[in-house]
Each structure stands twice: as structure tokens, then as C-alpha cells.
Chain A
Amino acid sequence: MDVLSQFWATYGSVVQFALINMLLAISIYFTLYTGLLSLANAGFMAIGAYVSAVLTIHAGTPFIVNLLGGACVAMFIGLLLGLPVLRLRDVYLAIATLGFGEIVRIIAINFDNFTGATLLGGAEGLDRVPKLTTPEGLIVTLLILIVLLIQLPRSRAGRAMAAIRRDENVAATMGINVFRYKVLAFVLGAFVAGLAGGFSAHLTRFVGPNAFGFDTAVNILAYAVLGGTQFWAGPLVGAALLTILPEALRFLNEYRGIVNGIILMVAIVYLPHGLVNPQWFQRFRRTEAA
């Protein structure tokens, strides 16, 4: 027990960051599973973080309400963004969602200037957000999402999403409402990213406009691409590895960031299905049976 508490004292925050990153990886998993490359999730994370922090500071409602409030606002904005933007295909969608993250940043910086309020703290951001995130809360949220992810491939929606990923035109011919399921995947992703934002704001006790830029969007993508985007454990493994890796590579100093880039390239070139490839288990099971 002593060893455990010592471990927690040293690595507790890393573990909690890993759990938040797992949430983020799941948020982009929904869209990638449907074959959409959306880079908007850092923006949704920002919305969740700002809304929940403002609610905690000014409304005094319970943490769970603020958290869900932030996630719901992120989801609603995801719907508003998704309805026009999801008509665009691959590269064009990626560009449009990339722009969205920047727009959120610019609005966050200028919000107080234009409205005359003192809500978002401009370029300095909001500090003194109370620390309300607990490991238990994170784990429960993750478990609920994991159950959802395991059920996804067996559900009607999950099958429709996988079909859209394989071939949009064929899916449409089979009577799948392609656009509706794309919006569903996008909005689910926005909700989960908003949750992650809320947790992160109440863990680091700070929300700033520059914490959710292009780098964050790319990191989120890297978690899912490394882990794999067709099996539920993929994003979890990817997020865990990429959170722990920089800690283990401290000796590289300023060259540490290179590792992320190299992993992204190597993973996409040599591991097109990610680290967690369900085919490996199947092969294993087959040899076991024989």
C-alpha cells in the first residue's frame, strides 16, 4: 500500500492527464470510425473547458452539472458547425475544421473586449478554477464510454458508420442516411471532447485560449492514429502511450517533440491499422482452437 501511495504521489497527475487524453482520443475515434478527418476537437475541448469553468466560478452549480453543461454547449456548437461543414469531403473537411479551432481561439481572446463582460479573461485566460476533477470521476466516465464503444460495432449506428468509412457511395445506395450518421459521429465527438475540456480545466485549474490550438488538435489525432481507429482499445492505448512517452523521454530535452512527429509518420506508414489490430487477436484465437 505504501508503494502504491508513493507511486500516486509521483505519477498521479500523469495518470490523470493520461485519462483525459483517453477521453480526447475517444472523441476523435467517433469521426475517424466514420471515415471523417475532423480536426475540430481541440476547439470543442476549449468550449467545454470555458463553459464549465465559467459555470463553476459564477453559477455555483454542482461540478457534474457544469461538466455536462460544457459538454452540451460543445455538442450544440458541434451541430451548428457540422450541418454545413459535413457536406464537404475529406481534405476540405479537414481544412474547414482546422479553421474552426482558430476561430474559437480568436473569439476566446476577444470575447471580453467586444461584450464588455469579464467572463473569459481575454488572452490571459481564467486561472483559479477550483480543482474538482477526481480520478474516480474520470474513471467512471471512461468506463461508461468504453461500454458504449464496445457496443458500437454491434449497433445499427455503428454498422452504418463503418459502412460509410468503407465507401460512402455504396453506403448511400444501401439506404443508409450518410449525412445523418456523419452528423451523429461529429456531435458525439464534440460532446466527449467538451467533457474532456471540463475535466482538464478543473484539473490544471486554468483555461487559456492558446492551450487548444493546432498542436492540441494534432496530438488528439496522434493518439487515435497510433492506437488504431477500428477497435475500441485503440484510442486508449494510443493516448496512454503518448502521454507517458514524453515523461520517459525527458533526457532528450528540446528534441522531445520530434518523437511525436516520428511516431505519427511511422504509425501511418507502417501500422495502417494502429497498434491494436483486432486481426492479431483473431489469428491468436484461431491457433488456440486448432
Chain B
Amino acid sequence: MFWQQAVNAIWLGAVYSLFALGYTLVFGVLGLLNLAHPSLFMWGAFFGLVAVNNLQLPIWAALLLSMFATGLLGIVLERLAFKPLRRRNAPHLSALISSIGASIVLINLAQGAFGAQVSRYPFDTFPIQILNIGPVSITLLQVVILGVSLALMLALRWLLLSTRQGQAMRAVAFSERTAARLGIPVDRVIWQTFFIAGALAGAAGVLLGLAFNAVSPFMGTTMSLKGLTVMVLGGLGNIEGAVLGGFILAFSEVMSVAYLSSDLRDAVSFVLLFVILLVRPNGLLGRSSTKRA
């Protein structure tokens, strides 16, 4: 029983982490909280659905297509909602409010285009196969989701730490002005960041949509607050922190449902959020205390 729950939690944690990666990447590079990220995630799920249903693509191609399309949507979002504010040097709270507006627009567009009801992937999108390993059973789909999530996390880490692109992103995160003085094309780095964050959101959308087989315009709203908890747990803007936070949240949720009461599932997330904000607002892996908090 316990091992089965642990396996469920590891799998769920991987999805939470993947969702929070793009969220936290934008905060890390630009210092702004993009509340439209959950809406990108929701659009990612719909892009995947359209690719499977209307274009008859296999699921791996749908995943790639959705990542690309959601990445482009991320760039559009940056151009419309954030760039004008950055030019004016507006306070961070303005960007936060603007992202809320963008998120309302994205949700309503999806509702108009796909309807408010829950859509589903076709039954045979992914072969249903249950693997039994010792005392636990796990579906092939869950294994694949775990694998893809971990691969994307490692890819992001490699990109940030070992490529020129990542170096430029870290420089912009340190100081936009200094980066510009050093000849880094800040504007390009920023839209590239939004593309990567959007692609990660798209991947999370397709994988989560597949896993729960439920895609709706409102799927981003519940994830939105969980994503915030995950980010804050690990420290806003901290990539490794988001991964750690995802697993902590998943473990607390799964265990509280298994051993306490299912009514508490959503409460767990907020209690964690409050406690960590009050005790350690920079997160578990947060370093300097005054830089951004």
C-alpha cells in the first residue's frame, strides 16, 4: 500500500515539477510572476488534442507540435502583455496584473473555441498496459510521463548551465542592464525564455491531459495555485527548487488522501504555501534573502 502510494506520488511530482519549471524560469530570468502560465499549459493540452483528433498525428508528434505551438503563444504573450510594460519600466506588480488579464483572455478564447465541457483524448491514443513490479503496479503511460518529464528537466538544466544561450539567460537574470552593456541581445533572450517556458507548459499540458484524460478550459486554474506552491516551496525562480517542490507537494497530497481524508487534498497545498511563506519565504533552496523578496 505505501509503496504503491509512493510510486503514484513520484509520478505526480514529476508532472507538477514539469508544470512549475516554465513558471519559475520566467520568474528567475525576468523577476516577474506570469499568472498566464497556467493558461498556456491549458492551451498546450488543447493543441495536443487538436493534433491527435484533427490532424491524426501519433502522440509523440502531437507532443512536439504542442510544445512548439505553445512556445509561439508564449512569445505572443510576451509581446502583448509584458514588453510594453518593460519599455516603460513599470513596477513588477503591473506585469502581474497584466498577466492576469492575459490569462482571462486565453481562458475565454479556449472556451469559445472548444466549449466549456471536458474534452478527452481518443481511447487508443496510448496503449494501455499495466506493469507489475513487485508489490506495485504502474501503467506504461505513467512510466513514459515520468521519463519525458525527467528528460525535459535535465535538458533545461543542460541548456542553462552548459550552452551560450543559457549563459546569456543567466546574465539577463543577474542584471538586464549589465547584460545589454556586454552586448547580449536582451530582447531576444527574453522572447527565447518565453518560448522555452511556453514549450514546457505545452508538454505539461499534453502529458497531464493524457494522464487524467480530461482537457478543459479551466484545467489551468487548479494547477495555477498548485504551481505557485511548488515554486514558493523551492524558492521563486529556482529551477532545482521547482523540482524538489513538485515532489514535496505530490507526496503530501497523495499521503494525505491515502491516510487522512480526501477532503484535505486541496487544503494541503495551501497550508504548505502559507507555512513556507511565513517561515521561509525564499523557499527551501533559496539563497540570499534580500535580492528579490
Which of B61-112 touch A at CB < 8 Å? 80-81, 84-85, 88, 90-94, 96-98, 100-109, 111-112
In chain A, positions 78-130 with a C-beta closer than 8 Å to chain B are: 84-85, 88-92, 94-96, 98-99, 102-103, 106, 109-110, 113
Contact assessment for A269 and B98 in the assembled complex, using a CB-CB cutoff below 8 Å: yes
**Stretch of A13-21, A145-153, A240-248, A250-258 on the interface side:** A250-258
Show 28 residue pairs from A and B whose CB-CB distance is below 8 angstroms, ordered by the A residue: A37-B93, A85-B278, A88-B293, A90-B93, A91-B92, A91-B93, A92-B293, A95-B228, A99-B225, A99-B228, A102-B266, A103-B271, A106-B266, A106-B270, A110-B263, A113-B263, A218-B100, A257-B108, A260-B101, A261-B101, A261-B102, A262-B105, A264-B100, A265-B98, A265-B101, A265-B105, A268-B94, A269-B98
User: Does B214 lie at the interface of the complex (its beta carbon under 8 Å from any beta carbon of A)?
Assistant: no
Q: Does B97 lie within 8 Å of A268, measured CB to CB?
A: yes
A262 touches B232 (CB 8 A): no
Q: Which of A37, A94, A99 has the most CB of B within 10 A?
A: A99
CB-defined interface of A265-280 with B at 8 Å, one 1/0 digit per residue? Answer: 1001110100000000
Distance between A227 CB and nearest chain B CB, rounded to angstroms: 13
Are A269 and B85 in contact, CB atoms less than 8 angstroms apart? yes
Q: Which A residues touch B197, using CB under 8 A?
A: none
- B221–A214 touching, CB < 8 Å: yes
Q: What chain B residues lie within 8 Å of A221 (beta carbons)?
A: 97, 100
Chain A residue nearest to B221 in the complex (CB): A214
- B236 contacts the other chain (CB 8 A): yes
B274 contacts A258, CB within 8 Å?
no
Q: Does A225 contact B (CB under 8 A)?
A: yes
Could you tell me the dominant secondary structure of chain B's interface residues? Answer: helix
Chain A residues engaging chain B, CB cutoff 8 angstroms: 37, 84-85, 88-92, 94-96, 98-99, 102-103, 106, 109-110, 113, 214, 218, 221-222, 225, 254-258, 260-265, 268-270, 272
In the assembled complex, B267 has its CB within 8 A of some CB on chain A: yes
Q: Report B-chain residues with C-beta under 8 Å of the C-beta of A262.
A: 101, 105
Assess whether A225 is in contact with B90, with CB atoms less than 8 Å apart. no
Q: Within the complex, what minimum Cβ distance (angstroms) separates A103 from chain B?
A: 5
Q: Is the Cβ of B281 less than 8 Å from the Cβ of A265? A: no
Q: Contact check: which of B85, B107, B221, B266 meets A268 at CB < 8 Å?
A: B85
| Chain A residue at smallest Cβ distance from B236 | A91
Q: What residues of chain B have their CB less than 8 Å away from a CB belonging to chain A?
A: 33, 80-81, 84-85, 88, 90-94, 96-98, 100-109, 111-112, 116, 221, 224-225, 228-229, 232, 236, 263, 266-267, 270-271, 273-274, 277-278, 281, 293
Q: A261-B104, A264-B100, A269-B98 are in contact. Are A84 and B278 (CB under 8 A)?
A: yes
CB distance from A246 to the nearest CB of B (A): 12
Q: Could you tell me the distance in whole angstroms from the C-beta of A209 to the nearest C-beta in chain B?
A: 12
Q: Write out the residue numbers on chain A whose beta carbons fall within 8 Å of the beta carbon of B96.
A: 37, 91, 94
Query: What is the bound-complex CA distance between A89 and B90, given in angstroms?
Result: 17
Q: Which residue of B is nearest A255, CB measured? A: B112
In the complex, chain B residues whose CB is within 8 Å of the CB of A90: 91-93
Q: How far is the CB of A169 from chain B (nearest CB, A)?
A: 12
**Which of A96, A218, A258 is within 8 Å of B277, CB to CB?**
A96
> What residues of chain B lie closer than 8 Å to A103, measured between beta carbons?
267, 270-271, 274
Contact A265 B102 (CB under 8 A): yes
5 smallest CB-CB distances across A and B, nearest first, come from A261-B104, A264-B101, A265-B101, A261-B105, A257-B108
* Residue from A89, A90, A91, A214 having most chain B Cβ neighbours under 10 A: A91
B-chain residues with CB within 8 Å of residue A261 when the two chains form the complex: 100-106, 108
Cα separation A262 to B277 with both chains bound (whole Å): 31
Given contacts A102-B266, A272-B90, 4 further A-B contacts (CB under 8 A): A92-B236, A269-B98, A270-B84, A272-B94
